[in-house]
Chains A and B, each alone.
Chain A
Amino acid sequence: MQKLLYGIISFLIFSFSANPVKAAAIEFWITETQSDRVKIIQLLIDTFQALNPGINVKLIPVDENDLPSQIAAAAAAGALPNIIEAGSELIIAFGEEGILDVPLSSEIVRQLGEKRFYKGALKMLSAPEKGRYYGLPYHGWVQGIWYRKDWFEKEGLKPPDTWENILRAARVFHKPENNQYGILIGTKSEVYTEQCFTHLALSNRAREFNENGELVFDSPETLETLKYYRELAGFNPPGPQSWRARDYYIQGRMAMFFYSTYIMDDLALAKEAAESLSGEYFSNLKGGTFDPELVNNTGAVTIIKGTKPAGYGAIVGLCLMKGKSRAEKDAVKRLVEFMYEPFAYITFLHMAPGGMIPVIKDIASMPEYLNDPRHVFKRYGGEKIEEIIEGLESIESFTSVDGRIFPQAGRIYSKMIIPQMIYSVTIEGKSPEEAVKWAEEEMKKVIKD
C-alpha cells in the first residue's frame, strides 16, 4: 500500500515537473445530459486532471433547449464557462454575439491539422474570414425518417422518401381508434420541431437567406412547407409532441418518426435490454410488449426528395469563450487537445455508437472505433455505418446552404422562432400565412438587434 502511495506521489511529481501547468480552474458545459453519458465524460475529465495536476475542470451538463437562456444569464452575470459543447447553429450564434475566442479555436484547429477534419464538418463552423473558426467540430449526426419496413411492405407502400410517400403512409397507418399513429413530427415549441421542419423546408428550396444575404423566409416555398407540415401533424399522437414520443414507436404504436442517427443505439440497446430480461434468462417474466424484431424491421430514409433532394443533420462542436486569463487559456487548450486524443475521442463517441459520428477522418477508419463495446456497429454492419458517416458530408441547414454560411441564421435558430411558428399553427390553429409573416417579423428584429 505504502509503495503504491509513493509510486503515485512520485508519478505526480514527475508529471508535474515534466509538464509544467499553471494552476487554473475551468468550466466545461456539455449538452449531453443523460446520466450515463455524464459519467463517461466525467471519467475522461478525471483522467485529464490526473495527467494535468493543477488544472481543475468543472463539468456542467445543460439541456440543449436551455443553453441559449443559460448563456444569456451567465453573460449577464459575467460568469461564462470556458468551453461549451453545442450544436453548430448555437456556436455560430455565440460567435455572432462576440463572446467566442475565435483566434484560439482557429489556432487549435490548425495544430490538430485542418486536413484531418471532414471538410463539410469544418465548413459548418467557419467564420466569414478565411481560416477562422467559431469552434472546433467534435461529432455530428444525420437526421432521417425511421419507419416500419414490415408495415410498409405489408401495405405495399414505398419508403417515405418523397412528400407524397410520407403523407400517404401517414394517412394509411393513422388509426387513433386503435391507439396507433401515422407519424411523429415536432409540434412543441422546441429544437426538435425546428429540426423536422428544416429537413422538409430544405427539400422544398425554402430558405431564410438568399445569395445576397437578404432575409427571404416569407416565401411561397416556406408557406407550402408549413401547410404540408400542418397536414402531417394531423397524423401525430394527440396534442403537442416532442422527440420523447419516439417511445411510442418502440412500443409499436407509430409507423414512422423523424429522428437522428442516435436512435440506432437506442433501438439496438432496447433490444439488448429486452433480450436480457426475457426468454432464456427469465422465462417467467412478462414485461412490456417489446418487439425484438424492431431493429431489423426499421428502415431509414435520410434524403427527402421534394423539389430537390435534401439531407439534414448537425455538427456538434466545442467552442471556447473569450476574455479569460492566460492560465485558463492554456488549460482550455490542453483540455481540447486531450479531447481529440484517439482514446478519449473514441471513448466519447462510443457513448452513442452511430449517433455520434466522428468528424476526423483517421478516427473514423480506426478499428478501435468500429469495435464499440456494445457491438452496435456489428448489428448494423460496416456498410450502413460508412453510408451514415458519408451522409455527414451532404448535410445542409439554414445556416449553411450550398456551402455558404449565414451567421445570422444561427442567431435566429437560438431564438426558437420557427418552433413557436409551428406551435401556433399546428396547436393553436393560427393560419400559416399569418404565422410565416409573424416569423419573418421576429427574424427581422433579431437581425436588427
Chain B
Amino acid sequence: MQLSLTQKESRLGLKLIAPSIGVIGILILYPILYNIYLSFFNVRLGEENVFVGLGNYERMLRESGFFSSLVTTIIYLAGSIIGTTVLGLAVALMMNIKFPFRNITRTVILLPYFAPVISVVFGWQFFFDPVNGIYNHLMVETFGLAGGRHNPIGEPGSALGIVIIFSIWKNFPISYLLIISKLQAINKDQYEAAAMDECGPIARFFHVTLPELYFVLGTLIILRLIWNLNKFEEVFLLAPNVRTLPVFTYYTAFTGVIDQGYAAAISVAQFVILTALIIFYVKKVLKW
C-alpha cells in the first residue's frame, strides 16, 4: 500500500513519541491508577487486600481529620500564593528601578530559592528556638514586645503562620524572576503614552503594568497552586504538626494505625481537587 507523505509523517511522529508515552505511562499513569485501585481496598501488609468499595471515601467524609486538614491546606495555599505573588511583584518593581549595586542585589534575592530546604529549615528552627533563638531574644529581652518566651513553630496556633511565611520567603524569588523578565519586555512607549494622558505612577501601574503582567501572574499563581498543594518536605520538615493534605496522607499511610487504603483515598481526593481547580482556573482566569 502506498502511503501519502502526510500519512508517513504522522506514522513517524507516533513512533517518535511512543517511548515518551511509554515512560509517562509507567512512571505517572500506573502509580495514579494503582493509587485509585488501592483506595477501594483495606490494604494489609503481608496479607491479601480486602475490597471495601467506597468505604474509605465514606470514612473520609465522616471523620473530622480530613476536613480539618483541608481547611489547613486552603489557608496555607491562600496565604502562600498571595504572599509569594505580591512579594515577588513588589520586589520585581523595585528591582526594575536603577540603583547602585542592583546586579548584586538581584542575585542575592534568589538565594532562598536555591538554598537546600533542609539547611534553611534548621536555620529557621534555630531562629525560633524558645530558649536559645534570636527571635525570642529580640521579642522578649531586647524590645520587650512579648510578655514571655514562645515556641512559634511548635505551638499549633502559630505554626501554620510560620509555615506560610517560610513558604513565601523560600519561593517568592521564582515569582520575582518571572515577573521581572516580563517587566523588562514591556514597551516604554506605552508608559510614555500613558504619561501624556496625565496618568500618575499609580494609574500607570494599574493601566499599563498590571494588564501586561496578567498572563505571567496568572501562570505563576497556577504553578504555585500545583506546587504548594503537593508540597510535603517544606511543611513536614519545618513543622510536622501542620497537617496539610500531603502531610495528613503521610501520617495515615505510614504512622500510627497504618492505613494505606484510606491514605490512597485521601490522595485521590487531593488529586481530584487539584484537577478541578486547574480546569476552573485555566478556563476562567487564563481563558485558554
Taking Cβ atoms with an 8 Å cutoff, the residues of A that contact B are 68-69, 72-73, 75-76, 97-99, 176-177, 179, 181, 188-189, 237-241, 245, 248, 251, 253, 415-417, 420, 423, 427-428, 442, 445-446, 449
- Chain B residue numbers with a CB within 8 Å of A177 are 148
A-B contact pairs, 9 of them (CB 8 A): A68-B255, A69-B258, A72-B258, A179-B149, A188-B154, A189-B240, A238-B151, A428-B156, A445-B257
- Chain A residue numbers with a CB within 8 Å of B130 are 237-239
A446 touches B254 (CB 8 A): no
A76 touches B45 (CB 8 A): yes
Interface centre among B254, B256, B260 (most CB of A within 10 A): B256
Which one of B45, B150, B241, B258 contacts A238 once the chains associate, using CB atoms below 8 Å?
B150
B150 touches A76 (CB 8 A): no
* With contact pairs A72-B45, A237-B131, A428-B156 given, residues A415 and B257 touching in the complex (Cβ less than 8 Å): yes
B150 touches A75 (CB 8 A): no
B151 touches A239 (CB 8 A): yes
Taking Cβ atoms with an 8 Å cutoff, the residues of B that contact A are 44-46, 130-132, 148-151, 153-156, 240-241, 254-258, 260
- Chain A residue numbers with a CB within 8 Å of B153 are 239
A179 touches B131 (CB 8 A): yes
Interface centre among B156, B241, B257 (most CB of A within 10 A): B257
A75 touches B131 (CB 8 A): no
* With contact pairs A99-B46, A248-B131 given, residues A427 and B149 touching in the complex (Cβ less than 8 Å): no
- Chain A residue numbers with a CB within 8 Å of B132 are 248, 251
B150 touches A73 (CB 8 A): no
| Smallest beta-carbon distance A415→chain B, Å | 5
* With contact pairs A97-B46, A238-B149 given, residues A73 and B256 touching in the complex (Cβ less than 8 Å): no
- Chain B residue numbers with a CB within 8 Å of A445 are 257
Bound CA span A239–B130, Å: 8
- Chain A residue numbers with a CB within 8 Å of B46 are 75, 97-99
B256 touches A239 (CB 8 A): no
Ranked 5 nearest A-B pairs via Cβ:
A239-B151, A239-B154, A69-B254, A238-B130, A238-B151
A427 touches B155 (CB 8 A): yes
- Chain B residue numbers with a CB within 8 Å of A420 are 256
Bound CA span A240–B260, Å: 28
- Chain A residue numbers with a CB within 8 Å of B155 are 238-240, 427
- Chain B residue numbers with a CB within 8 Å of A176 are 148-149
- Chain B residue numbers with a CB within 8 Å of A245 are 131
- Chain A residue numbers with a CB within 8 Å of B258 are 68-69, 72, 415
| Smallest beta-carbon distance A127→chain B, Å | 18
Bound CA span A97–B258, Å: 13
B151 touches A253 (CB 8 A): no
Query: Which residue of chain B has the shortest Cβ distance to A428 in the bound complex?
Result: B156
B45 touches A75 (CB 8 A): yes
* With contact pairs A75-B46, A239-B151 given, residues A427 and B156 touching in the complex (Cβ less than 8 Å): yes
Interface centre among A239, A240, A253, A415 (most CB of B within 10 A): A239
- Chain A residue numbers with a CB within 8 Å of B254 are 69, 72-73
* With contact pairs A97-B46, A238-B150, A239-B154 given, residues A253 and B131 touching in the complex (Cβ less than 8 Å): yes
Query: Which residue of chain B has the shortest Cβ distance to A70 in the bound complex?
Result: B254
- Chain B residue numbers with a CB within 8 Å of A75 are 45-46
- Chain A residue numbers with a CB within 8 Å of B240 are 189
B256 touches A417 (CB 8 A): yes
| Smallest beta-carbon distance A17→chain B, Å | 41
- Chain B residue numbers with a CB within 8 Å of A188 are 154
A240 touches B148 (CB 8 A): no
Which one of A97, A237, A416 contacts B45 once the chains associate, using CB atoms below 8 Å?
A97
- Chain B residue numbers with a CB within 8 Å of A449 are 44, 257
- Chain A residue numbers with a CB within 8 Å of B241 are 189, 240, 423, 427
- Chain B residue numbers with a CB within 8 Å of A97 are 45-46
Query: Which residue of chain B has the shortest Cβ distance to A176 in the bound complex?
Result: B148
| Smallest beta-carbon distance A211→chain B, Å | 26
| Smallest beta-carbon distance A195→chain B, Å | 17
Beyond A69-B254, A423-B241, A427-B241, 9 extra complex contacts between A and B, CB < 8 Å: A72-B45, A75-B45, A97-B46, A188-B154, A189-B240, A240-B151, A415-B255, A415-B258, A427-B156
- Chain B residue numbers with a CB within 8 Å of A76 are 45, 260
- Chain B residue numbers with a CB within 8 Å of A72 are 45, 254, 258
